[in-house]
Amino acid sequence: VSNLHSVTILLDINDAREEGCLARIRKYFETRGMSCEIWFLDLNKKHKEGEESPDPERTITKKDLNWFDKPSRERTSKISGENPELFISLVNNNSFTIAFITKSLPAKFKIGRMQLKTRIFDLVIEDSPSGEFTASQAFDEIVKYLTIIPIKCRRQTTLQTRQSTLPIHGEFLGAT
């Protein structure tokens, strides 16, 4: 992780409201000298008062999706234009929206909570057999693996990883 400079995170809007979640994520990457951009996925139809997004400009809503849940070109361009080296989806579903966003990103290493049909994630953190992880718990698991896996992006933006199988909650699929 020490050789990476940028990360983009996709977080469900409901998980963003979890106390301390956003601050913990930002602090982790800031202390490592990485820029951290967080995008929110808000597919709720109605909101209660006071449940607005922490950052409306970085929120993908139901209105941003077409009839088959593809995000608008404007939103997709903004996310991919950040050119992250690392992408983390903390959204706990495998919808077409997640797949499309993940595929459109130029990130060299991609981490998710559920594997997609196209097996696009390099690392998957699945829920514990004893229960579903919160976004914070999933992030804690991801951090454990980020300290184990040496991810180095060179100036030519190539990725080097050590091929290995990770125990219990993770599945390492190799670099893309």
Q: Which two tokens stand for residue 175?
A: 């670099």
Per-residue model confidence (pLDDT) at position 142: 93
- pLDDT range class, residue 94, cuts 50, 70, 90: confident
**In the predicted model, what is the mean pLDDT of residues 79-108?**
91
pTM, 2 dp: 0.81
